Amino acid sequence: MSHPQRRVLGVDPGLTRCGIGIVEGSIGRPLSLVAVGVILTAADLPLEQRLLQLESELEEWISIHSQDVIAVERVF
């Protein structure tokens, strides 16, 4: 029985550096790295501008990569 391939957008949240990546694969098969990046915001910008920049770049990743699932790392 074949398992469907899934694409996952992973987010390692951070205000200054937000890690982001896309992997795909299926159960019992190795994952493939599709894309990886970091969203950087300048510490001297006002908070609202930094949050807007994060939102904008995350939305761009979401629209480009057609993921099935989004996973966000829990902040400690």
* CATH number of the domain to which 56 belongs: 3.30.420.10
Looking at the DSSP bridge assignments, the partners of residue 19 are: 12, 38
Looking at the DSSP bridge assignments, the partners of residue 13 are: none
Report yes or no: 16 and 2 within 8 Å, Cβ to Cβ.
no
Reading the chain (76 residues) residue by residue, the pLDDT tens digits are 677 899 999 999 999 999 999 999 998 899 999 999 999 999 999 999 999 999 999 999 999 999 999 999 987 6
pTM, two decimals, is: 0.85
What total number of domains does the chain contain? Answer: 1
The whole-angstrom separation of Cα 18 and Cα 4 is 29
pLDDT for res 71: 95
In a domain, 49, yes or no: yes
In a domain, 1, yes or no: no
In a domain, 22, yes or no: yes
pLDDT for res 3: 79
Q: Which domain holds residue 14?
A: 6-72
Name residues whose C-beta falls within 8 Å of residue 24's C-beta, 6 or more positions apart in sequence. Answer: 5, 6, 7, 8, 31, 32, 34
pLDDT for res 76: 66
